[in-house]
Structure 1
Amino acid sequence: MSTAHSLVDGEKPAVARTPTADVAPEKEIIKNTTTDSEDIQDEPTEANEYPSGLRLVFILLALVLGIFLVSLDLTIVATAIPKITSEFNGLDDVSWYSAAFFMTIGGFQSAWGKAYKYFPLKTTFLLAIFTFELGSLICGIAPNSTTLIVGRAISGLGAGGIGSGAYTIIAFSAKPKTRPMFTGIIGASYGIAAVVGPLLGGVFAAKVSWRWCFYVNLPIGGFSALIIVLFFKTPTTAKPKAASLGERLLQMDLVGAILVMGAVVSYILALHYGGAIYKWKSSQVVGLLVGFVVLSVAFAAWEWCQVDRAMVPFRLIRNRVYLVPSLFAFFFSGAYFLVIYYLPIYFQGIDDVSAAMSGVRNLPLILAVSLSMLASGAYITITGISAPLTVAGTALAMSCVGLLYTLEVDSTSGKWIGCQVIGGVGWGVASQIPIITVQATAPAADLAEVTAIVLFLQTIGGAFMVSAAQAAFVNVLVKVIPSSAPGVNPAMVVSTGATNLRTVFSADELTGVLVAYMRGLQAVFAIGIASIGIAFVIILFQSWKRLNTAAILGGGAAA
């Protein structure tokens, strides 16, 4: 007689269960060693928790608007800077308008990533939007240059949280099958804003006021926050990781972020003062440069001691596959932002065009960057070939800056249009490859961290290069004025905004002033040439292997 039990229709066989006490420790170890990306991938949202229909559309719209504003703030002030300098009567703070934003968005990017892991997701994202909006409001009502710089720093702090939060929320809102598509939509909004930014900034500065470059953030950001409040419900799998408050704060590595900010501020102030306000050998400038070195060393030592709590873990940065693209991004992107910020000064100061027309004149560069970026991403996704594109793109970008160096007061439009198209193709082809490379080669456990490292160095590179360019511009301007425009006070030229040159100086004086302006701009572009030259040497040490297209198609490398 058989002892087997016959199953009736619909009855399921019994399954032996392993006691939970035997597997819990192993599960806990795995859980505690995962990164943010693993938490999303290994603990997927329950199917019934994914938003759908109109609710999903609104959430996606909120995230697109958030990323759009972050990208917009990176470039919108570029064409408005001459108007800002005219109202505040000076060129000496130009570098701070961009550097303040870059240094906080880069310095606190890792901290925001940890915040989304250890604090409530929805609340943290809303806090990021509030911080960004507060900074925008301060910029809009700024009565002086210092207040504007403070507002830009606060906006950058919030922008870092919006960027990290948008990709985290979409990971919990979109089903795995559709997640790459929605991630691509969010990424596309970044590119569109980069195109619209300079043009919109020029229109606001010319037709209304440069202050609307910041006021525009308030209703759009508020609408985005309202959508998140009404439509986004934090899934159960997105609950904060259990840890004491002290451990949460340690994981955010706020000390590391503060050390980075201190080093960057010391560097910017040294270049801001050197040759323009104090002599380069003065105690003020030397002290700031020493402070920059000391704080940089302190940051490196602190990160070494923090191990996996660090914002830049040494176990990753020692790997050539991650180190080379990260350093490349620092110098390559730094040169791009340098051109974005100083080409409008050439158009408005030398060619005497309006801020709006200056934005239009920037379109060849911005459009070429956007179209080339799409083409490059598609090609790499299909073929997995990226290394030759990086070298070619860097060479084209270097050619662009080299040609910009040859611009003169009477250069034709064909010359500056051609320069921008060449550079746009170069930067568009190569600028996203560092992110694609590290994401396609990194294991899931390190994906979030290596991405943050590249973004951190990319944004800090922008702050460093724009500040160096400003120092070169002012120092050369002051040095050349006595010979090109005798009798003109160099301090008067520095304190006069680019759009007011023809109002302040007579026709005879203006000729010499414009010559000095061109020499200053050539010094700026020379720094750009050096920056891209260093990037070119660095990228020769990259991995020349074909990328894993499966990883790219999976959505990781395309993000």
Structure 2
Amino acid sequence: MTSPTISRRDVGLRSERGPILLAVMLSTGLVAIDSTILATAVPSVVGDLGGFTRFPWLFSVYVLATAVSVPIYGKVSDVLGRKPVMLLGIALFLVGSVLCGFAWSMGSLIVFRAVQGLGAGAVQPMGMTIVGDIYTLAERPKVQGYIASVWAMASLVGPTLGGVFADYASWRWIFFVNVPLGLAAAWMLVRRFDERVQRRRTSIDWAGALLLTGGGVLLLLGLLEGGQDWAWGSAPSLLIFAAAVVLLAGFVLVEARVSEPVLPLWVFRRRVLNASSLGSLLVGCVMLGLSSYVPLYAQHVLGHGAVVAGLALAGMTIGWPIAASQCGRLYLTIGFRLTVCLGAVITVAGSLLLLTVGPESSFAHLTLCCFVMGLGFGLTASPGVVAAQASVDWRSRGVATGANMFARSIGSAVGVAIFGAVANSYVADRLGGRVSSLDELPAGVLAPALHTVFIVSAAISGLLIIGALLMPRRVTEPAEPSEAAEAAASPA
């Protein structure tokens, strides 16, 4: 089959960047709001559809579908172009949203959430890749700050909007509201993003894609459900991890032989890509600890309401875009390594500050800790993505971005396993048996259990410094023919 070859000459610079950025922000907003809007409506969903014991899969299946599809979309975008993959992702997300809105049972809703996740797996990396295509190395941090601000707004709007729909309309509108936003983003991309590419002969690595998907699903399934639905050392757990290892080993063998691998093995041989992926994995792990347990601490230990408890994370989602928008000045001056090291140190400082929070602490104290850690995340994750993109040419940027975001998804799954095991182990030791829910525990037991989670989070944050030291000081962006001339002629 024939497919396009992507270069700076052909992508992005022929288009007006402002409307494209707005379309990327709208698309990112779909995914960002969807990740928070459903949580506050779970009681209404369960009350309508039933299936209380299965509702956690509404979140798990979404994470699974998103994570395993990210690297595949990244490779496909390097072959077919960013625009068609982004439009496919938006279409899948909207189809999944409409189907979720018409779901008739918990089982059907879980299946349709997987369709949404497959769409999100394209939208997230393509947004970052398009930004890397049309903005220079110096401009990208500021633009990524804009995109990060979308997540900040979503963390505030999502839970509130979900509660409003659940209380005053129907939980189904949580999904229907995605349709106008998605259509607007797709219309802007179709009208304003003029992506012109040259054709070349290529083949699609279907075997590698299937092996990566199967192995990734089993690995994430084992991490997400281990210690929850089955014990870590049980037969189902061991069987799932063994099957994941076999499939991923087969994937490595296939990728070493095919001409167009879906995830080229050279990705794992480049220092900058390994360093950025390690940082992304650790950020995903620590961020999961904040997102899952800080609101629980605010609500059940400090005694705040559900809405206020959710807003405790606003500090992180405000600090992240502030740091991300300013990190460009730093890495252009002191280099990537020192910038990421600074972010890692700030993250560690925030995690240590979080250890000072106790049952008598104020809400402002808890929010300040999240703000500091958000600053650290912004100075760690954002330069890591930029460095990964800058280290490769146009033909490999989708793969590099997808690998970085896949690492973050793996980190989140690992975080679920680690923090859940720590909290459950502490509670079980105190109460003399296994406990299925932390929400019903008294603060006298829950507070020290969550404090133990924060200790582990601080220890993992310390590993960020090691990852930061692996980052090269400078990253040289591969030049394309006529790049300077076309950049000078491009619209602002």
Does structure 1 conserve the Cα–Cα contact (< 8 Å) formed by 2:299 and 2:305?
yes
Does structure 1 conserve the Cα–Cα contact (< 8 Å) formed by 2:354 and 2:369?
yes
Q: TM-score, normalised by structure 2?
A: 0.80
Alpha-carbon distance in structure 2 between the residues aligned to 1:366 and 1:121: 27
* Superimposed CA distance per residue, residues 407-450 of structure 1 (whole angstroms, 9 cap, x where no aligned partner): 43333224313312221221122121211222333355544432
Does structure 1 conserve the Cα–Cα contact (< 8 Å) formed by 2:34 and 2:158?
no
Give the CA deviation at 1:331.
1.3
- Seq. identity, %: 20
Does structure 1 conserve the Cα–Cα contact (< 8 Å) formed by 2:275 and 2:471?
yes
Partner of 1:379: 330
Equivalent runs, 1:79-478 vs 2, <5 Å: 80=40, 94=56, 96=57, 98-116=59-77, 118=79, 124-140=85-101, 149-166=110-127, 187-209=144-166, 213-228=174-189, 231=191, 237-238=196-197, 241-243=200-202, 247-248=203-204, 250=206, 253-274=209-230, 279-306=231-258, 309-381=260-332, 383-443=333-393, 446-478=396-428
Give the CA deviation at 1:184.
7.2
CA separation of 1:549 and 1:301: change in aligned 2, threshold 3 A: closer
Secondary structure at the aligned position of 1:346 is classed as: helix
CA separation of 1:259 and 1:320: change in aligned 2, threshold 3 A: same
Does structure 2 conserve the Cα–Cα contact (< 8 Å) formed by 1:442 and 1:450?
yes
Secondary structure at the aligned position of 2:256 is classed as: helix
Partner of 1:29: none
Partner of 2:451: 522
2:483 matches 1:533: no
Alpha-carbon distance in structure 2 between the residues aligned to 1:170 and 1:398: 29
CA separation of 1:316 and 1:386: change in aligned 2, threshold 3 A: same
Structure label with greater radius of gyration: 1
Alpha-carbon distance in structure 2 between the residues aligned to 1:125 and 1:471: 37
* Superimposed CA distance per residue, residues 345-387 of structure 1 (whole angstroms, 9 cap, x where no aligned partner): 2223333433332333322221112111112123224x15221
Does structure 1 conserve the Cα–Cα contact (< 8 Å) formed by 2:74 and 2:399?
no
Does structure 1 conserve the Cα–Cα contact (< 8 Å) formed by 2:145 and 2:322?
no
Letter of the 1:432 counterpart: S
Alpha-carbon distance in structure 2 between the residues aligned to 1:193 and 1:334: 21
Does structure 2 conserve the Cα–Cα contact (< 8 Å) formed by 1:400 and 1:422?
yes
Partner of 2:7: 40
Partner of 2:490: none
CA separation of 1:131 and 1:254: change in aligned 2, threshold 3 A: same
Superposed CA RMSD in Å reads 4.0
CA separation of 1:93 and 1:384: change in aligned 2, threshold 3 A: farther
CA separation of 1:150 and 1:331: change in aligned 2, threshold 3 A: farther
Alpha-carbon distance in structure 1 between the residues aligned to 2:425 and 2:44: 21
Does structure 1 conserve the Cα–Cα contact (< 8 Å) formed by 2:72 and 2:262?
yes
Alpha-carbon distance in structure 2 between the residues aligned to 1:461 and 1:81: 26
Secondary structure at the aligned position of 2:227 is classed as: helix
Does structure 1 conserve the Cα–Cα contact (< 8 Å) formed by 2:320 and 2:377?
yes
Alpha-carbon distance in structure 2 between the residues aligned to 1:211 and 1:395: 43
Secondary structure at the aligned position of 1:108 is classed as: helix
Partner of 1:7: none
Give the CA deviation at 1:227.
4.5
Secondary structure at the aligned position of 2:358 is classed as: coil
Give the CA deviation at 1:132.
0.8
Does structure 1 conserve the Cα–Cα contact (< 8 Å) formed by 2:219 and 2:244?
yes
